[in-house]
Structure 1
Amino acid sequence: MSDSFFIGLDDLEGIALRGNDSELLVVQERSNSVVVVDLSSRRERYRRPLSAMTNYDTIAHHFPDPPDNNGLEGITVNTRNKHVVVVKERKPGLLIELDSTLTTILSTQVLQASQGFMHPELKAEKLDFSGLSYDRSSDTLWIVSDKGRRLFQYDWAGDTVLQRLDLTISTGDKPKQIRKPEGVAFDHGRERMYVVSDRDADLYVFKLHDDC
């Protein structure tokens, strides 16, 4: 059996696993929806647009109609409470917490410079957010920026960025920045951070240290 399969949707962005790896959650930016795929049958179970969820009226003003290509980019699962978290790319950058049934918007948080989301070479309104991964060990979120080419570790409870890490690799001459980092996954057990480049179709693996 092939390890890859087709999903009859386009404009798909972030992905996440849940349900003991039995389900794949995917965000579609064009419709700002979460799509649930059964990995056993490799078929779509259902999809939930944000606009159909309870409490959407609290964030509707952030989502213009028609969409402006700054919609949902990333998704992750909080393994402590089973809630799903998605991130809006920009205008504004926005974290949205959903219940496990994907029917209710539980809470939201606009991502701003005052919390630590900043870059020395980009104005705050230019900074985007292209993916995220939940860190169970610290109950934080790792959020990657495409234009900023850096990772932010964000503590939602404290509403603050704990650290900012530039995404660079050693090439023998001088450090090279990863181009268009749009996916991130954190493995606490192995102390590894996985980042994928959309521009180069490369997967980079970083080892995190206790003092990073």
Structure 2
Amino acid sequence: MTENRVFSSKAEISRCFCKLRRLAFTASLVAAAFLPWTDFAHADNPGLTLIASFKVADKSEGFSEPSGLSLSNAEGFLWSVSDAEPGLHLLGTDGVLGNSFKLPSLAGSDLEGVASRKDGSVLVLQETDRSILVVHPTDPIQLTTIPLTSLKGYSDAAELLVGNPLNKGPEGITVDPDTGRVFVVIEGQPRLLLVLSPELTDIEEIIPLDREAGFMSDRVGDDELDLSGLAWSRSSRSLWIVSDKSRQIFVYNPKSKSVKSISLTFTEDGKQKEVKHPEGIALDETRGLLYILTDDAKKSRLYVFNIPKF
């Protein structure tokens, strides 16, 4: 399978006209990095400070149902996938779609989370098949499928997930670049965090993300609370887990088992707004930036916020 470089006429034109836009936006991000983090009156449930937002949906490129987000090894770009068709997409931090890599049909179309690794490979979650795709975006493209059921220790997770609906599977994935450990969240009943070995051979730990662990919301009941994406914070050694229905981010420390929350609300043009249908989250701690990707049909957006400080 060869790399499929997808540049529609729209993308080509956009690339020409967006050079100045990208330079201006990059300058704004650098400037934002030196802004002081907002001090909140309460350590729990701060709001967000919006820097920018961009429309990202592009049906012609198979990017109509964005899902999952991760910083890529290429500066200024993020990795994402789409439920629409099996493909891995490079998305500019200014919302402009770059290269797209078509995946073999065996990868399936129910792609959810995405995570970049130091070696250049990208991990992609396939929800229906309960598997992790290890993708090397090279020419030709290389892909390995690792079913969660093949991992040592999965039987313990299976006992907990025996009644889990098919559409309540693995939704988010991220990597701790310092240890290589991989984190996977399962949004269903029950909600679980799986901690995998760097080699993707073992499940080292299974952590219920239940109400007793601090995963709760005033907006929805426990059965409705979902988890749609996650990112790893190197500075705080914590997971940032975004929830669509509760419209919040859970900041979870897997070592201390402590959790705090951030409301997905912000002020724009003097009006209080919410981030609707969040599906992906990424952290750029070098620049102090938080990215949220939404799946909202033609209204799908990439939001850029300052990382709030607890």
TM-score (norm 2): 0.64
Q: Which residue of structure 1 aligns with residue 243 of structure 2?
A: 145
Which one of the candidate residues 101, 112, 116 is aligned to 1:17? 116
Report the structure, 1 or 2, having the larger strand content. Answer: 1
- Seq. identity, %: 37
Which one of the candidate residues 154, 171, 176 is aligned to 2:268? 171
Q: Distance in 1 between matches of 2:145 and 2:164?
A: 19
Query: Which 4+ runs in 1 deviate beyond 6 A?
Result: none
Q: Distance in 2 between matches of 1:107 and 1:58?
A: 10
Number of matched pairs: 209
Is 1:113 the counterpart of 2:208? The answer is no
Deviations 1:118-151 (A, max 9, x none): 1112112211111000101111000000111110
Instruction: Give, as a single letter, the amino acid of the residue that structure 2 aligns with 1:205.
Output: V
User: What does residue range 28-39 of structure 1 map to in structure 2 within 5 Å?
Assistant: 28-39=126-137
Q: Distance in 2 between matches of 1:209 and 1:66?
A: 34
Is 1:189 the counterpart of 2:289? The answer is no
Q: 3-state DSSP class of the match of 1:175?
A: strand
Q: Which residue of structure 2 aligns with residue 160 of structure 1?
A: 258
Which one of the candidate residues 179, 195, 198 is aligned to 2:295? 198
Instruction: Give, as a single letter, the amino acid of the residue that structure 2 aligns with 1:26.
Output: V
Q: Give 5+ residue unaligned stretches, structure 2.
A: 7-98
Q: 3-state DSSP class of the match of 2:207?
A: strand
Question: CA 1:56/1:176 → structure 2, altered by over 3 Å: closer, same or farther?
Answer: same
TM-score (norm 1): 0.92
Which one of the candidate residues 90, 93, 101 is aligned to 1:5? 101
Q: Distance in 1 between matches of 2:189 and 2:256?
A: 23
Structure with max Cα Rg: 2
Q: Which residue of structure 1 aligns with residue 124 of structure 2?
A: 26
> Which structure's relative contact order is higher, taking Cα pairs within 8 Å and 6+ residues apart?
2
Deviations 1:42-94 (A, max 9, x none): 62431111111111111112334895200000000011210111100121111
Instruction: Give, as a single letter, the amino acid of the residue that structure 1 aligns with 2:293.
Output: V
Q: What root-mean-square deviation, in Å, do the aligned CA atoms of Structure 1 and Structure 2 show?
A: 1.7
Q: Distance in 2 between matches of 1:119 and 1:50?
A: 29
Q: Distance in 1 between matches of 2:151 and 2:117?
A: 20
CA contact (8 A) 2:229 2:242 kept: yes
Q: Which residue of structure 1 aligns with residue 199 of structure 2?
A: 101
Q: Which segment is superposed worse, 149-158 or 35-44?
A: 35-44
Report the structure, 1 or 2, having the larger helix content. Answer: 2
CA contact (8 A) 1:30 1:67 kept: no
